[in-house]
Amino acid sequence: MTLIVHHLENSRSQRILWMLEELGLPYAVRRYERDPRTMLAPRELRAVHPLGKSPVVEDDGLVVAETGAIIEYLVAKADGRLGPPAHRDAALRWRFWLHYAEGSLMPPLLVLLVLGRIPLLGRTASKRFQPMVDRHLDYVEAELTRSPWFASDQMTAADIIMSFPLEAARARAGLDERRPATMAWLARIHARPAYRAALAKGGPYAYA
First to last CA, the chain: 30
Burial of 122 (0-12, 13-18, 19+ CB in 10 A): middle
Residue 114 has a pLDDT of 78
Closest CA to 51 of 69, 66, 29, 72: 66
The DSSP code for 29 is E
Residue 137 has a pLDDT of 98
What is the value of pTM for the model shown? 0.94
Crossing angle of helices 14-23 and 157-172, in 10° steps, is 140
Which are the contacts of 134, defined by CB distance < 8 A and separation ≥ 6? Answer: 174
d(CA 14, CA 32): 12
Buried b (16+ CB within 10 A) or exposed e, 163-180: bbbbbbbbebbebeeebe
pLDDT in single tens digits along all 208 residues of the chain = 689 999 999 899 999 999 999 999 999 999 998 888 877 888 899 999 999 999 999 999 999 999 999 999 999 999 999 999 999 999 999 999 999 999 999 999 988 887 877 776 667 777 888 999 999 999 999 999 999 999 999 999 999 999 999 999 999 899 999 999 999 999 999 999 999 999 999 988 989 7
Domains and CATH numbers, the chain: 3-82+194-202 (3.40.30.10), 88-192 (1.20.1050.10)
Residue 120 has a pLDDT of 66
The DSSP code for 42 is P
- For CA atoms 180, 181, 182, 184, give the dihedral sign: positive
